Amino acid sequence: MYIPDGGAHGSTAEILRTNSFVSVLPLLYVRDEALRLALLAVGTAAMGKGKNLYGQGLQEMGRALRDEKRARSEALLVAPRFMGMFEILFGANVDPNLQARSWRSHAEGELALMKSRGPGAFREGIAHQIFVEGRMVPIIAGVRMRRRTLLNEPEWKTIPRSKHPKTPKDTLLDVLADIPEVMEYADLLSSSSSSSSSSSGVGNDESRRNAIAKCQRLDAE
């Protein structure tokens, strides 16, 4: 199996651990009602009670975001992730595109909560654990939208890891975070190539150079 920059990246336990933030859920569960309802919705969906709890969780999330103290809670960072999980596993909408948009709205909500805190808030502690194990969801949403994400910015790839060495998983996610931007360039090139104006040709060349430079950097990584 190929591992980028396959040198020492901490202990074996750290490398293999993929869902360790689950270990802090009992602590976070009691800190905010929105997270509690989201977890209950997922846990009771098979018994037919999840939908009502999910709706209550959405309302509680709205109230939490209007409360400055609750909006800064680490527990609230996790709530959109479980609401998105509910949509994936138990969303009953007959239109899969609408269901996908509902999931994406939770991913975008989680990203907005990260952005409001800034990368420096995720250097250590529970917030760090939540970030390194949760950024895949907003990145995948970016891939689906074919639009670059702030998690591709250098500060978001370095500052949260300034007190902890990167694992191979972190390195792979750094590369994955670049993919939405490459896809955005590809779409831009495709749309601009159909235009006959001279100004679009200049923009097309610049986009092509940016896309090539991005791909070359990814290949080097």
DSSP labels, 154-167: HHHHHGGGTTSPPP
85-107: burial string, b at 16+ Cβ within 10 Å, e else: bbbeeebeeeeeeeebebbbebb
- In whole angstroms, what separates CA 147 from the centre of its chain? 13
Contacts of 134 (CB under 8 A, 6+ apart): 21, 77, 78, 81, 110
Cα–Cα distance between 184 and 85 in angstroms, integer?
A: 26
156's tokens = 């978001």
**152 contacts 113 by C-beta, under 8 angstroms:** no
Backbone phi and psi for residue 170, each to the nearest 5 degrees, phi listed first: -60, -40
The predicted-structure confidence for 155-195, as pLDDT tens digits, reads as follows 999 999 999 989 898 999 999 999 998 888 888 777 766 55
Backbone phi and psi for residue 135, each to the nearest 5 degrees, phi listed first: -70, -15
pLDDT of 16 over the 70 cut: no
What global pTM score does this model have?
0.77
**Distances, alpha carbon 142 to alpha carbons 18, 108, 128, 139, in Å:** 21, 9, 21, 5
The predicted-structure confidence for 39-96, as pLDDT tens digits, reads as follows 999 988 878 788 899 999 999 999 999 998 888 889 999 999 999 999 888 876 667 7
- In whole angstroms, what separates CA 103 from the centre of its chain? 12
